[in-house]
Amino acid sequence: MSFQPTTLNMTFDTSLAYTGDADPALLNQSFGSSTESDPSLYSRYQTPSQATATADDDDNPSQKTAKEANDENPTLPSSSITPKPATSSTFSDFSTTTSPTPVTHLPTLATYDAWAPVYDTDGNMLQAIDDLELATLLPTFLNSVTASFTSTSLPTSQTPDPERTLQILDLGCGTGRNTLKLATHPYPPHLHISITGIDFSAPMLALARAKLASTPLSPAIASTTLHHADAFAAPAPAVLATLPQFDAIISTLVLEHVPLAAFWQRVVWLLKPGGVALVTNMHEEMGRVSQAGFVAGDGRKVRGESWAHGVAETGEVARGCGLEVLGVWERAVEEGDLEGGVGERGRKWVGRRVWFGVLVRKGEV
């Protein structure tokens, strides 16, 4: 499949700050064709100050800048399982400050297993921002993928043919928050589309299965399959060897839990030549002072293992793994977001970048 970047020109949300790190043809209508960053694009955002908040948004922001915190060599919370700062540029340090609320640090899998019952309903601010951006980005991405696939692999029968089936993967699908969007997108009805999801949390996958089973899917969907596996484990889980290579991959709010090289190497392995991936993640300006987590029923904050990956660093490692970076976007919380799904829990983050997205393509071989 050959991706057609020019079909993505029209509908990307211009509330995003464009980093300039993208194919000019991809973005020339929304962001200008310069391959250099345009400082005016950032004028709407104040320089984010350091904020001591977790992803459950219950801490108070401080006034330190990210640079000041870096200069002071911030330390991690005391825990044998929380990642320690690494000397490799693949990892970024993050800091936390003392909170009056008890905090429990767990391995990422245990965190998400415990989070599953309330994951879709606990008012997580970053998920809300992700949903707002994907409302535009994901349909545009899927429309471009299907247009390209149709031009090269038009089915000639009504029987799904694996060789002519558009293969889409939700990598780290969790509760199926976006898997369901993949399966209900209004694809051209003549296409045969297979949706696959992979996640390491059994409770999360149970919720995803229930969503797919109870929702009418697009007529173009030939199959939906969910696999319980840690896609980033080394060695790779056996189930990965049974999967096809994918025309398109999405991975949303997963990258922060995986070292960059391990993440992008797996994406390369799973993509077909010419395949594309849309990845979203917590922005480093949030990640340096925040970790994904939730408030348990007893009031404890539960946090998993996280890395605060830099935007530039993320693109550099993707290129080093053989991917072409087609687009990079950054998103700050705005006042209008507070009444647009983000809620008051996002107020402390107004003017601060909390989210970024990356669009990559695997080269044709």
287-313 pLDDT per residue, tens: 998 888 888 888 889 999 999 999 999
Instruction: Measure the CA dihedral 145/149/150/156, to 10°.
Output: -140
**In the predicted model, what is the mean pLDDT of the chain?**
77
Predicted pLDDT at 161: 57
Residue predicted with more confidence, 39 or 215: 215
Angle at 333 between CA 344 and CA 82, to 5 degrees: 85
Structural contact between residues 116 and 73, judged by C-beta atoms closer than 8 angstroms: no
Averaged pLDDT for residues 211-223: 97
State in Å, rounded, how far the first CA of the chain is from the last one. Answer: 11
Q: Is the pLDDT of residue 212 over 90?
A: yes
Greater confidence, 277 or 121?
277
Q: Please, are residues 174 and 41 in contact by the beta-carbon 8 Å criterion?
A: no
What pLDDT does 339 receive? 85
| Residue range 233-256: mean pLDDT, rounded | 97
CB atoms within 10 A of CB 102: 11
Let me know if 25 is exposed, middle or buried by CB neighbors in 10 A (0-12, 13-18, 19+): middle
For residue 140, which amino acid is it? Answer: T
- pLDDT at position 160, please? 53
Output the pTM of the full model.
0.75
Looking at the chain, the whole-number percentage of residues with pLDDT higher than 70 is 69
- For residue 46, name the pLDDT band (cuts at 50, 70, 90): very low
- C-alpha pair distances (Å), 217 with each of 166, 170, 191, 195, 223: 15, 16, 14, 11, 10
Nearest CA-CA partner of 223 in 142, 144, 160: 160
Residue type, 165: T
Average pLDDT over residues 262-278: 98
pLDDT tens digits, residue range 336-352? 999 878 888 889 999 99
Q: Are 57 and 101 in contact (CB under 8 A)?
A: no
- Structural domain boundaries in the chain: 5-153+164-362
Task: Mark out the alpha helices in the chain (DSSP H runs).
Answer: 24-31, 66-71, 108-115, 125-152, 179-184, 202-214, 260-270, 284-287, 311-320
Q: What is the CATH number of domain 5-153+164-362?
A: 3.40.50.150
Which one is predicted more confidently, 61 or 246? 246
How far is CA 222 from each of CA 24, 137, 193, 239, 278, rounded to the nearest angstrom? 35, 23, 5, 20, 22
More confident residue, 20 or 221: 221
